[in-house]
A and B are shown apart, each in its own frame.
Chain A
Amino acid sequence: MKPFYYLLVGGLSWLLLQACREQYEAPIPYEFSGQTGSGRFTAPVRQAMEGVYTVSDGVGEFGAQVALKWTYVLNGADTTHYLSIFSGNEAGFFNLENDRSVDSLVVRGYWRKLVNTDTGLARLALRTRRNGELQRFTGTLAVGDTLVLEGSYGTGNANPDQPLTLTYNRPLNPRPFAILAHRSGGRTSDLLSVSENSLNMIRLASRLGATGIEIDIKFTKDGVPILYHDNLLNLRLIQKNGLEGPVEEYTYQQLNTLVRLVNGEKIPTLEEALETVLTSTTLNFVWLDTKYDGPMDRVQAIQQRFRQRAIASRRDLRIVIGLPTTQAADAYRALANKENTPVLSELDTAITRSLDARIWAPRWTLGPQIEQVRAMQAEGRTVFVWTLDEPKFIEQFIQESNFDGILSNYSPLVAYYHYVDQ
């Protein structure tokens, strides 16, 4: 047998396997107008709409019930409102905007499921059911009226042709709960339209159900704190450009000029990220995950500056420094002044107490840890769990544990299980 045949078998095997590998993509089939305001969906209408709805048409795709919530992003003094619908099926969600092309209360947009690539268009009209008859909703609900969203959804770019009917059932669960989105809103590997740890992802986060975000902090060669998760520049996170190696080996200027995240965005600085949170979103919590070794004073200075700005603008916004390792804890201990520097400890309860961290965040793989969580809460600490994505465990953690919030890549699913919880 000649070596040629062995090489041929190996080469053909490789080619066969490469040919069999499917490329996964989930492009958004809808282009948002981004127009400011909310059209005919006035504040009372939006408020009346929020709630848990029973699904009658579309149960197979989206489950028996869904949660509806309005969010908005800010652009200067302008606000743009979006309707989110959270489904318990396969981390499904809808992102919808008001349809200004019609003279009625209509939203349109797209739906997506995060665990796979399923997506499609959707269009829903708001009506009210009065005495068994569906009528146009005029903005006022009489006793006995029920809100109904009636319309259709489709698959991919196809026109929506499958009926979808949502009937108001009850208000959203009002219990305060932190829905924290991993990597500023979601992972790049979940095929979202924007990249993880980008400004666009921060703007998208609340539409995915998040009330807060976790972002990953690294330093450039010239000491600029930026948002980036991995140790290396790699094609998982950035577009191909010939650059490789540790991100810390590049200056901010080099990264800003030469590197684009996979969906085309620039790698943001920590200051740009906090500016976006503060001025463009309604997010109320930012978890700065320290992915670097070294002094913490620069991050502390930025955290304190934006804390002051949030207070000055009367924004309900907590910015906390995460301490995932004993090295990070030591860097925190080494700070000359720890005043107004809230930290979140991922370490054990003893270290968390010794740091006087106001937030404790254990891994979800340790289970609900009921007793420890209660003890920490009794001492005035907030307790979050990370990074929980398994759908059935999300449901159980919300129903059977007493955490104050969950960090997840699937914030729509956390939002769903939290809002429908009774």
Chain B
Amino acid sequence: MILHLRSGWSVLLLGWLVLSGSVALAQRAVRPYEPPADYQPGIYFPQAPRPGEWRKSIGLIFTSTPPEITEEIRLLVPAIDVNLQHGLSKNWYLSARLQTQLVQSNLALGVRYATPVTEKLYAGLGIDGIGWFGALNIKDVFNSQAGGLEAIPHATLGYRLTRDLQLTFRTEAIMDLYYRSTVGPLAVEYDQRRLNGVAFTFALEQPFYKQQHVTLGLRAAYSNFNWQFWSLYDTFERDFFYPQLFFGFIL
């Protein structure tokens, strides 16, 4: 399903305001801050799962297309978003993330370090290695495949606003490592290592229903290339704005 929107960014901003307002209203009756007795589930919040513990989430991520590439057509492209994390020690943990639209997918594998700075403030560092692949075989339209490798080092700050509500800010550097594309028997490759762009993420994580928790957030990528739009073959050496809205249920 692809949503046609006049302004994807406006919708994302509206979504942010509505959802954050709803969360805020829900928090009005929350009692004063108490240190959590236990680890709070969170995919973005920089806190390692207990050693040996698994964290999982499943959700959707929507990406708005930049007008420089899709011109008057604005699309809000959805992808299934699955996260898996595994605690190695008090501070270290592994992460895996799959984003997929079936015809194109992105798998990120990473390692992270997180530590509390104060009772409420946490910090983390990590790096993800990414492999993505897309294949489009549509009669009289596409006979194309593409794939690539990226690396994303990132730094994260997390703030536990209340006992239950966790706010996370993450900044990422998106590094291109390799790109290959084919149309029929022809292929092109780029193996230059370069800074492709940066991204900033705001995420809220909190209880949702009974023992379930949810993640809700915005990611703003400002980059030259975005793997989801490889099939548009943009050639501009310019950075474009790719806003993303995501939510997930922490299982």
Q: Which of B56-64, B111-119, B140-148 contacts A (4 or more CB under 8 A)?
A: B140-148
Shortest beta-carbon distance from A361 to chain B in Å: 12
The CB with the most chain B CB atoms within 10 A, among A20, A365, A391, is that of A365
Overall SS of chain B's interface: mixed
Q: Are B222 and A400 in contact (CB under 8 A)?
A: no
Q: Verify B72–A232 contact, CB threshold 8 A.
A: yes
Interface hit among A3-11, A27-35, A299-307, A332-340: A3-11
Q: Which chain B residues numbered 49 to 86 have a C-beta less than 8 Å away from chain A?
A: 67-68, 71-72
Is B25's CB under 8 angstroms from A116's CB? no
What sequence of 0s and 1s flags, for each residue 213-242 of chain A, a beta carbon within 8 Å of any chain B beta carbon?
A: 000000000000000011110101000000
Q: Is A364 in contact with B183, judged by CB distance below 8 angstroms? A: yes
Q: Could you jot down 17 A-B contacts, CB within 8 Å? A: A2-B24, A9-B202, A13-B202, A13-B220, A16-B200, A17-B220, A17-B241, A17-B243, A20-B222, A115-B235, A115-B237, A230-B72, A236-B71, A365-B233, A368-B184, A393-B188, A396-B188
What residue in chain B is nearest A388 (Cβ atoms)?
A: B233
Instruction: Decide if B239 is an interface residue (CB 8 Å cutoff).
Output: yes
A19 to chain B, nearest CB (A): 11
Q: Which of B14-22, B38-46, B120-128 contacts A (4 or more CB under 8 A)?
A: B14-22
Give every chain B residue within 8 A of A234 (Cβ-Cβ). Answer: 72
Contact with B along A246-282 (1 / 0, CB 8 A): 0000000000000000000000000000000000000
When distances are taken between beta carbons in the complex, the residues of chain B under 8 Å from A110 are none
- Interface check A297, CB cutoff 8 A: no
List, in ascending order, chain A residues with CB within 8 A of B139's CB: 348
Contacts of B243 in A (CB 8 A): 17
Judge if A50 is at the interface, Cβ distance under 8 Å.
no
One of A1, A393, A397 near B24 (C-beta < 8 A): A1
Report if B90 contacts A (CB, 8 A): no
Task: Verify if B23 is at the interface (C-beta below 8 Å from A).
Answer: yes
Q: Does A82 contact B (CB under 8 A)?
A: no
Q: Is the CB of A389 within 8 A of B141?
A: no
Contact yes or no, A189 B68, CB < 8 A: yes
Query: Is B251 interfacial (CB 8 A cutoff)?
Result: no
Q: How large is the interface on B (under 10, 10 to 19, 20 to 34, 35 or more residues)?
A: 35 or more
Contacts of A366 in B (CB 8 A): 140-143, 183-184
Asked if residues B16 and A1 are in contact (CB atoms below 8 Å), the reply is no
**B161 closest partner in A (C-beta):** A1
B149 to chain A, nearest CB (A): 18
Within 8 A of A (CB), among B192-251: 200, 202, 218, 220, 222, 231, 233, 235-239, 241, 243
Whether a CB of chain B sits under 8 angstroms from the CB of A156 is no
How many residues belonging to A are interface residues under a CB distance threshold of 8 Å? 47
**B positions within 8 Å CB-CB of A:** 13, 16-17, 20-21, 23-25, 27, 67-68, 71-72, 136, 139-144, 161-162, 165, 167, 181, 183-186, 188, 200, 202, 218, 220, 222, 231, 233, 235-239, 241, 243
Instruction: A13-B218, A189-B71, A236-B71 are known; give 17 further A-B pairs, CB within 8 A.
Output: A5-B24, A6-B23, A9-B167, A17-B222, A17-B241, A21-B241, A22-B239, A115-B235, A116-B238, A230-B72, A236-B72, A363-B141, A366-B143, A366-B184, A367-B186, A390-B188, A391-B235
* Contacts of A103-132 to chain B: CB distance below 8 A: 115-117
Q: How far is B181's CA from A20's CA once the two chains are assembled, in angstroms?
A: 30
Q: Which residues of B contact A397 (CB under 8 A)?
A: 186
Distance, CA A55 to CA B188, complexed state (A)? 25
A309 to B137 CA separation, bound complex (whole angstroms): 44
Across the interface, A369 reaches (CB within 8 A) one of B16, B23, B184, B220, namely B184
* Beta-carbon contacts under 8 Å, A364-390 to B: 364-369, 389-390
Q: Is the CB of A365 within 8 A of B17?
A: no
Are A10 and B235 within 8 A (Cβ)?
no
| A224 CB → nearest B CB, Å | 21
Q: How far is the CA of A234 from the CA of B73 in the complex (A)?
A: 11
Chain B residues contacting A410 (CB-CB under 8 Å) are 235
Chain A residues, Cβ within 8 Å of B143: 365-367
| CA distance in complex: A7, B14 (Å) | 11
A3→B21 contact, CB < 8 A: yes
CA distance A20 to B197 in the complex (A): 12
